[in-house]
Amino acid sequence: MSAGGEPGVRVQAADLRRSSQSILEAVGTPADLASIVASSLVDANLAGHDSHGVIRLMSYIASVRSGQVQPAARARMESLGGACERVDGAWGWGQPAAYLATDSAADLARANGVGIVTIGRCNHIGRLGEYVEKLSRAGLIGLMTCNARSAVAPYGGYTRMLGTNPIAWAAPRESGHPPLVVDFATAAIAEGKLRVAHAAGAKAPAGAVIDRNGRPSEDTAAFYEGGALTTFGGHKGFGLSVMAELMAGVLSGTGASSLPGYDNGNGTMLLAIDIGRFMPAAEFVKQAEAFSVGLHEAPRAPGFDEIMTPGEPEWRSRERRTNEGIPIPDATYDAIGELAAELGTELSRKLGRRGEARC
């Protein structure tokens, strides 16, 4: 048990970031790109979304070895005219491509009121909330969605036809307060979170997984043995997932994940909105803040100690884990250490001293 009460080894973010970057550089990633990817993974851990954190290092390196990821490739921007641009991810790391798209969408929005950018030939981009939050901190509204390899059954079916297809939004609040951020998979559980549960020997949430014969199962292995995930909210999550396939997968040129020609990427669509084109930005932020305060102060239902606004759990986690360290499950910790040793990298001193990192 780590010092903060969560299972595993507790590691400081800076140590984890350095170790992750050294592993990425060891497989041919330029230092600047490795820094972006490592920081993205560790930020997901800080935010409490361990499914998108350093647990991904093993699969990322496997993707390099299989040829899916070209670690030295750099994303390129192509103007489509007006407020529209497209990023060619060049099959490099997804996070640098997504940051290029985020910055470009912001520039387009300031120039045109809105900016729309798609990303094609793109590998895993990580947690979508990271990018829309950046837009909100620049005083913009952000909306983002992407598709992924088929893992989810359509509502009423049981075969894999859809990706987990996350959708994220963010809007600014007053200075000193974290922005409002919504980021969720359209599946009942993100595959990465199921992976974390599977590694920990935990059960899948009831109703989130069906086996290869279409029967509900709480055994995480049922998914990895040919089953599928379900959509959240029945037909509602299904509808959002279908639109994500079209708006992100098809529009980006990646393709719908269950159709021939899908290229196994994260087809992405990012929209940025300049609030000031529609109303005074200060007034929007003022109303967003008043709304947030009203939600916090609303009467609480039995069993609830407080009401948190979207994005607040992540900021609380970030503050706590920055101070106390990030808990890394034993299996993940050992796997990262073995990978580092195999690649001939040297783990940072604190990360390497497992016995002293736990209580």
Question: What is residue 263's predicted lDDT score, i.e. its pLDDT?
Answer: 95
Q: Is the pLDDT of residue 192 over 90?
A: no
Question: What is residue 359's predicted lDDT score, i.e. its pLDDT?
Answer: 34
**Is residue 98 a contact partner of residue 131, using CB atoms and an 8 Å limit?**
yes
Region for 5 from its dihedrals, namely left if φ exceeds 0, alpha if ψ lies in -120 to 50, beta otherwise: left
Q: Is the pLDDT of residue 1 over 50?
A: no
Tokens 């974390």, residue located: 196
Question: What is residue 347's predicted lDDT score, i.e. its pLDDT?
Answer: 65
Regarding the domain delimited by 84-187+231-283, which CATH topology (the fold level of the hierarchy) does it fall under?
Answer: Ribosomal Protein S8; Chain: A, domain 1 (3.30.1370)
What confidence tier does 252 reach under pLDDT thresholds 50, 70, 90?
Answer: very high
Q: From CA 228, how far away is CA 150, in angstroms rounded? A: 9
Helix orientation angle between 330-343 and 57-66, rounded to the nearest 10 degrees: 40
Question: What is residue 176's predicted lDDT score, i.e. its pLDDT?
Answer: 85
| Nearest in space to 192 (alpha carbons), one of 342, 31, 355, 49 | 49
pLDDT tens, residue by residue, 32-64: 999 999 999 999 999 999 999 999 999 999 999
Q: For the chain, which residues make up each domain, given as ranges?
A: 9-69+311-357, 84-187+231-283
Sheet order of strands, 84-88 included: 76-81, 84-88, 114-120, 268-274, 140-146, 167-171, 180-184
Mean pLDDT (whole number) for 69-87: 98
Q: Is the pLDDT of residue 351 over 90?
A: no
**Is residue 88 a contact partner of residue 72, using CB atoms and an 8 Å limit?**
no
Question: What is residue 226's predicted lDDT score, i.e. its pLDDT?
Answer: 96
Across the chain, mean pLDDT equals 93
Residues sharing a CB contact under 8 Å with residue 151, sequence separation 6 or more, in sequence order: 160, 162, 163, 164, 187, 191, 223, 228, 229
pLDDT tens, residue by residue, 17-39: 999 999 999 999 999 999 999 99
pLDDT tens, residue by residue, 290-341: 999 999 999 999 999 999 999 999 999 999 999 999 999 898 999 999 999 9
Residues of the chain with pLDDT > 90, as a percent, come to: 88
Question: Under CATH, to which class is 9-69+311-357 assigned?
Answer: mainly alpha
What confidence tier does 113 reach under pLDDT thresholds 50, 70, 90?
Answer: very high
